Structures are given as structure tokens and as C-alpha cells.
A and B are shown apart, each in its own frame.
Chain A
Amino acid sequence: MRNKLLYFLVFLLPYGGWAQTREMTASEQASFQKSLQQLVEIKTISADFVQYKHLSFMKKPVESSGKLYLEHPDKLSWAYTAPFQYKMVFKDHKIFIDDQGKKQTIDIGNSRQFEKISTLVSSSMHGGKYDEKEFAVSYLKQGNADMVRLTPKLVGAKKYIKEIVLLFSPTDKHIEEVKLVEPSNDYTRFVIKNRKVNTTINESIFNL
């Protein structure tokens, strides 16, 4: 009997983790929406990020890290520093790339999905509202943290992304994690650290 109980607990334990995520109540949702309004005051963000790519057949995720700089309304610098150097700057509806000295510019018209994601992340960091025409929005709680799950509605986006999950810090309500889930259920998790808000960002960061 004791063994059965042990097996029961061992098998149930992993599901306990999932049970921590639940829908927000109406009052929690209202308070969350209100907390996002403080983010409107944000003019700049600089932070470190760590990217974990999870593939079902890999035991450990493939890891890379770098720095991000965001200047409201439409400048984003996304630079990988380890294990490789690769920098992207989004501004003026273009993506500027510096691949270890090899530079190129991509018109965003050729990379709509990428633009949507970068706009979404930038907008979320700034407390922007989610486009409910493009996404089905679920407001969730994971422990004390607020979580928003965005499921694409449009066929074009569904081909690339199954869902986007944004996890907010329970303390200051800033975005802490972004998870992009692919149609295959493999996913990429971006963890944002050492965030600095409204500090002056040198203009050269956005020039490539």
C-alpha cells in the first residue's frame, strides 16, 4: 500500500507543476491590466538575455546570450555575445545586421513574422495592448507571477508559431520571460535579466 502511494505521488508530482498555472480571476485580470499602465512610462530598457532553444530530442537546450536595448517607440537592438557575436537592430522598418563585421540590411517586408514578434515584445515591455484581432489572449497566473498566453488567430502566423507566452515579474510587473512555441511544440525561451529602465542609451547602439 505504501509503495502504491509512493508511485501515485511520484507520477502525480510532475503534474503538480502544471497545476500551478491557472486562469486569472476577473479582479486579478483588472489589477494586472492596471499594473501594465505603469510600463507606459518606460522610455528605454537595457538588459541581458539568455536564450534557451529546446528541441524534443536534445537532452539539454542550446544556449546563447546577449544584450538588448529598447528605445520607445521603435528602436530595438538585439545582440548575441556568446557563444557567437551577432547583432540585429530594428529601426525605420528595417533590420540591420552585423555578423562579425559582415553587414547587411533587410527590408522588414521580407520578414513579417520577425517584425510581428519584435513589435509584440517591444510593445509588451512598454505596457502595450495585445492585438486581439491577431491573437487569442489568455490571462494566467503561475504561482505569484502573471502570465499572458497569445495564440495566433491568423493562418499565416499559425504556420510559424503555436503560441507566445509572456511571463511577468511578480515584483515590478516587467517582462521576465518570453517563450515562443513552434507548431512542433519545440520552443525557445528568452530570460531577461539585469534590466535597467529609463537610463540613457548611447545612440551608437542603434547604428550599425
Chain B
Amino acid sequence: MNRFLTFSFFLLFFFVSCGTYRYPNASGIRESAPKELNNYYLDTAQTFVYRAKLNAFKKDINGSLMVKILGRNEHRIALVSDFGQTLFDVSISPNEHELHYAMHDLNKRMVVREIVHIFRTMTAQRYATSAVMFANQQHYYPVYVVDNNYYVVKERKVERIQQAKGAKEYLTIVYQEWNAEDIPTSIVIEHKKYPITIDLTLDVNQSTL
């Protein structure tokens, strides 16, 4: 009996954890013409300084987020508190990262991995060859799919990235506003697994655009 219960539990766990995410109201996935997505952070002449308001595990941190473009899909990203303390400084490329500095309390493998994951998703340019199908297409903006990321495109700009892990949503990045050059001026990041939200507002005067 005990062996049966243990086996049932593992079977249940296996099916629950291996479920696949289904985009809301999607009827399936179709092939699409190749599409470049998230073209915001490509110009190596640009450095972005965002006013950052971060709430992580019920703690508020305010500061500045710097995004410097080093090359195609290579970014150096640093978060500095209002008082000037560097919280982290990391170079991120598609398959690896180099941690230049992390404040002692944040210098933990899991924290760094999650920071890299969030900002890689925010800054990386991706190519999609498939898109979500909706039963009633007229009601929805195109949603492209790359790996487990869903890119919602409105007026030819990525408006939102929804990332799934297993059957659940894991991370949402919403580009809320843009300037005349289509540079995101307001971004909201919400982590769905951990209680982390990040609000970013572009500081035009301190950025090199």
C-alpha cells in the first residue's frame, strides 16, 4: 500500500510538473515568417539610465539601472542604490554572463542567476519563426513564440514578454511607453514565481541616446 501511494505521488508530481503552458485563448502554434523581436537594446553608441524602483520580498530599493550595449546581444547591466552603492554589475550574453561585482548580501548563486535571467530576457533580441494562433484572430495582437517566451507585438513594437516555465507563467516584462525613437521609457517587470517587481523609468538626461 505504501509503495502504491509513493508511486502515485511521484506519478502525480511528474504530470503536474511536466504540464505545458498554454497562452490565454490560444488555439495552437503556427509557423510564421522570420521575425526580429525586441530590437530595443542594439545600438552600441547608446547607454540607458533608468530610474529603478524595486520591490523584492517586501523590501523596497530605489536606485538607477544602467544598461550599456557592448555588442549584438551583449549588455553590461548595473543597479546602483540611490545612495550610490553598487548592488550588482554584470555582463550578459546569450549563453553566459560575467559578474563584475555584486554587493556582499546579493552575491549568491541563485540571486545572480535570477538577475541575469530577468535582464537577459529584457534586453535580448530574438528571432521568431512561430506564432500563437487564436480562435478569433481579429481580437488579438500577434504573439510570437521563441522557446518559452511569448512576445506580444503592438504597432510593430514588442509590448510585452511573457515567459513560461512548465505550465506556469514565470516572468512578465511590459514595455509601457516609448519615446519618439521607439526607445522604451517605462518598463514594468513582474516575477511570477518570486515576489519581485521592478519599475523602470528612463532618465533621458543621464542616458546617452
Chain A interface residues (CB < 8 Å from chain B): 51, 53, 55-60, 62-64, 80, 83-84, 86, 99, 102, 104, 114, 159-160, 180, 182-184, 186, 188
Contact = CB atoms under 8 A, between A and B. Distances in A.
**Is chain B's binding surface mostly helix, strand, loop or mixed?**
strand
A147 B95 CA distance: 46
B44 to A, nearest CB: 12
B47 A59 contact: yes
Contacts of B208: 59-60
B122 interface: no
A80 B203 CA distance: 15
Interface string B42-61: 00000101010000000010
Contacts, number: 63
Contacts of B64: 53, 62
Nearest to B70: A57
Contacts of A55: 66, 78, 80, 86, 89
Contacts of A160: 85, 103-104
A60 B101 CA distance: 19
Nearest to A54: B84
Contacts of A86: 62, 82
Contact of A184 (B100, B203, B205): B100
B129 interface: no
Contacts of B84: 51, 53, 180, 188
Interface of B: 47, 49, 51, 60, 62, 64, 66, 68, 76, 78, 80, 82-86, 89, 100-101, 103-104, 203, 205-206, 208
Nearest to A118: B83
B86 A186 contact: yes
B101 A184 contact: yes
A80 B101 contact: no
Contacts of A184: 86, 89, 100-101
Nearest to A82: B205
Given A62-B80, A160-B104, 13 more contacts: A55-B80, A60-B208, A62-B49, A62-B66, A62-B206, A80-B82, A86-B62, A160-B103, A180-B84, A183-B101, A184-B100, A188-B83, A188-B85
A83 B205 contact: yes
22 contacts: A51-B84, A53-B64, A56-B100, A57-B78, A57-B89, A58-B66, A59-B208, A60-B208, A62-B80, A63-B206, A83-B205, A84-B62, A86-B82, A99-B62, A159-B104, A160-B85, A182-B86, A182-B101, A184-B86, A186-B86, A186-B89, A188-B83
Nearest to B64: A62
A80 B62 CA distance: 12
A50 to B, nearest CB: 12
A104 B206 CA distance: 28
A160 B81 CA distance: 13
Contacts of A53: 64, 80, 84
B66 A64 contact: no
Interface centre among B66, B83, B203, B208 (most CB of A within 10 A): B83
The 3 closest A-B pairs by CB, nearest first: A188-B84, A184-B101, A159-B104
Nearest to A160: B104
Contact of B47 (A58, A182, A186, A188): A58
A104 B60 contact: yes
Contacts of B100: 56, 184
Contacts of B82: 64, 80, 84, 86
A186 B68 CA distance: 16
Nearest to A189: B84
A97 to B, nearest CB: 8
Contacts of A80: 82
Contacts of A62: 49, 64, 66, 80, 206
Contacts of A102: 60
